[in-house]
Amino acid sequence: MPADIISAIRQELTIQADEKTKSNSRRFFKENVAFYGVSTALVNRIAAHYFQDAKFLGKKGVFALCETLLKSDFSEEAFIACDWSYRFHSQYEPADFFTFEGWLKNYINNWAKCDTLCNHTIGSIVEQYPQHLENLKQWARSDNRWLKRAAAVTLIIPAKRGKFLEDIFEISDILLTDPDDLVQKGYGWLLKDAAILHQAEIFDYVMKNKNIMPRTALRYAIERMPADLKRLAMAR
């Protein structure tokens, strides 16, 4: 049955593939990214439809299917894997973090896969089990650009809720002068969303570090701030 579900998904994605969608999707990446060419809305519908069969396999069985989908390297299959893994967020246990970490290390190779896995699946387990914040800080010190970006973007949704501010600053400190623009955008995005409920603290952090913070990260961090604060932050 698991093989039948995977086969049916791949057949559906092949049937729904569109060359224009594939071409448009690739424009957003510097890397060579594998796409069928299926719109996000359609992928979401396919994920929901086939989950009705997959869910009877339970968390362990579905996570095994997710890994099979991730191994294919196709972005649409990765998005389905991320959707399915998050559907079990109410059943997460601390050890599941290391399953997700393995996926991140072995199968994530572009910013879209990284953000999709981290924003919901990994972000949710860290929010439930904050001891894994220490793992994120280890990722931030990695040589792997996707682990470094993941250290920041995993906390996007908790940041919007005002959580983990000191940990956000610690991770941002580690990533502060990283030369990779995708890492800079990742922690800048994190600071921007932390500023929703902690504008004064984020502004102070930016002002303290603006002389060494890459301009890409700085612009992201202050994007939602009032014009007068933006002018102060951007001033040389």
pLDDT tens string 71-130: 999 999 999 999 999 999 999 999 999 999 999 999 999 999 999 999 999 999 999 999
DSSP state of 154: T
Report field, pTM of the whole predicted structure over 0.85: yes
Structure tokens at 50: 């086939």
Distance separating alpha carbons of residues 234 and 177, to the nearest angstrom = 17
Number of C-alpha atoms within 13 angstroms, CB side, residue 51? 20
So where are the chain's domains? 1-91, 109-236
What DSSP string describes 35-104? -----HHHHHHHHHHHHHHHGGGHHHHHHHHHHHHHHT--HHHHHHHHHHHHTTGGG--TTHHHHHHHHH
Query: How many Å from the N-terminal Cα to the C-terminal Cα in the chain?
Result: 61
Walk along the chain (236 residues) and give the pLDDT tens digit of each residue: 687 999 999 999 999 999 999 988 888 888 888 999 999 999 999 999 999 999 999 999 999 999 999 999 999 999 999 999 999 999 999 999 999 999 999 999 999 999 999 999 999 999 999 999 999 999 999 999 999 999 999 999 999 999 999 999 999 999 999 999 999 999 999 999 999 999 999 999 999 999 999 999 999 999 999 999 999 999 98
Domain 109-236 grouped into CATH 1.25.10.90: yes
Distance CA(27)–CA(29), nearest Å, equals 6
- Please, are residues 135 and 167 in contact by the beta-carbon 8 Å criterion? no
